Homo-oligomer: A and B are copies of this chain.
Amino acid sequence: MLTFYWARGTCARATHIALEDAGASYEARRIDFAKAEQRSPEYLAINPKGRVPALVTPQGVVTETPALLVYIAQTHPQARLADLTDPFAFAQLQAFASYLCSTVHVMHAHDPRGARWADDPSSWADMKQKSHGNMRDCFQLIERAMFKGPWALGDAYSVIDPYLFTIASWLEGHGVDVAEFPRVAAHFRRMGERDSVRRVLDAESA
């Protein structure tokens, strides 16, 4: 049995969808950021980083979206959510995840979470302002050089698809229309029609 910790509107959505895609048996527990539950002693005992997502497995806790997506794919091979056998194909999956995690998510976070990296409110306003163009630049690169189609990595659906969908859902908050990136926009629509995605979005709005 797995216990999955998530919060609304966060990157945990990607792992949440992957758990649904995998047909995993798990219990979902929502962490309320508005109540700072991610910094409670109880949650810090699970994830000392005070972040979501986190997955409690029979062997211990797994954190970090790229690690979780691969873990879910590897432990649910029947769902065929990643090519784990060909090193080059797997490296492409990993590189996509790493770019989303360490560049695109970070660009986004400079809008709501500038206080992580600077102390002065004028710096936060500067970061917020610049984050919008940075997100556009990232998605231009994804559209032009990374997205294979019809799924992120090509013909086969993979755990990268819910991750891309999750981060693309943040574009609207930056005033960037996903329609600027036609292939990503088509992917975004197609993802929104999947039962696994609908179940997760319903859980987030419940």
A interface residues, Cβ below 8 angstroms from B: 48-49, 57, 59-60, 62-68, 70-71, 74-75, 87-88, 90-92, 94-95, 97-99, 101-103, 105-107, 110, 116-120, 122-123, 126-127, 129-131, 134, 141, 144-145
Contacts and interface: CB of A to CB of B under 8 A. Distances in A.
Contacts of A118: 110, 118, 123, 126-127, 130
8 contacts: A60-B88, A62-B95, A64-B98, A66-B98, A71-B91, A74-B87, A98-B101, A110-B117
Copies, count: 2
Nearest to A141: B48
Given A102-B102, A106-B102, A70 B90 contact: yes
Contact of A134 (B87, B88, B105, B117): B117
